[in-house]
Amino acid sequence: MTDINLTLRQARFEDATALIALLNQLGQETEFMSFDRFGMGLNPEILGSHLESLAASSHQLLLVAEMDTELVAVASISGDNDPRVRHIGEVGIGVLQEYWGLGLGSLLMEELLDWAESSEELFRLELKVQVQNIRGRRLYEKFGFELEARMPRGARSDNGNFLEVDLMSLLLH
């Protein structure tokens, strides 16, 4: 893969079906996601409407990485509408296994952080990452996220075993 045609862009209504397929595939490929191999149970029409509202939001963002015409990665910052915690965005990144090691996680994180830094509403980013997700933890540390807590039994594997999860954060501005 020497010649890569990659586009990073905000997700749109018409991406809903492809985004559901991407999320379902991510859930099948790795246990590192917060959802399992059965996906998220999303309806394309409802997701499409949600994507439209995200596009208009000043404290939420959903990016997709598109290679040719296929969605291969997703990244998001999800903010809450509650005024007391509206300044906090939760970060999530997922890359199809076939595209691991190409730097897509870093590209997506750079885009998320650029957007978050330009936001007048976000002052803190948080994420949860399984302790066993070495690549993910290295990525987040590379961009300045710091460990705040280790949560024993923070997640469960497909076979029912408990997994430790790290809560990491980054202060903005």
- List, for residues 5-57, the tens digit of each pLDDT value: 899 999 999 999 999 999 888 888 877 765 444 445 677 888 887 888 887 78
Instruction: State the CATH number of the domain containing residue 17.
Output: 3.40.630.30
Picking from 91, 59, 89, the residue whose alpha carbon sits closest to that of residue 74 is 91
Q: Which residues pair with 126 in a beta bridge?
A: 90, 169
Instruction: Please tell me the distance from the alpha carbon of residue 154 to that of residue 22, in angstroms, as a whole number.
Output: 24
In a domain, residue 165? The reply is yes
Mean pLDDT of 118-141: 95
Q: What was the pLDDT predicted at 37? A: 46
In a domain, residue 1? The reply is no
| Domains: count for the chain | 1
* Contact present, 44 and 22 (Cβ < 8 Å): no
In a domain, residue 118? The reply is yes
Q: Which domain holds residue 123?
A: 6-171
In a domain, residue 27? The reply is yes
In a domain, residue 71? The reply is yes
In a domain, residue 57? The reply is yes
- List, for residues 65-101, the tens digit of each pLDDT value: 999 889 999 999 999 999 999 999 999 999 999 999 9
In a domain, residue 80? The reply is yes
H or E element, residue 130: strand 124-130
Instruction: Please tell me the distance from the alpha carbon of residue 115 to that of residue 75, in angstroms, as a whole number.
Output: 12
In a domain, residue 78? The reply is yes
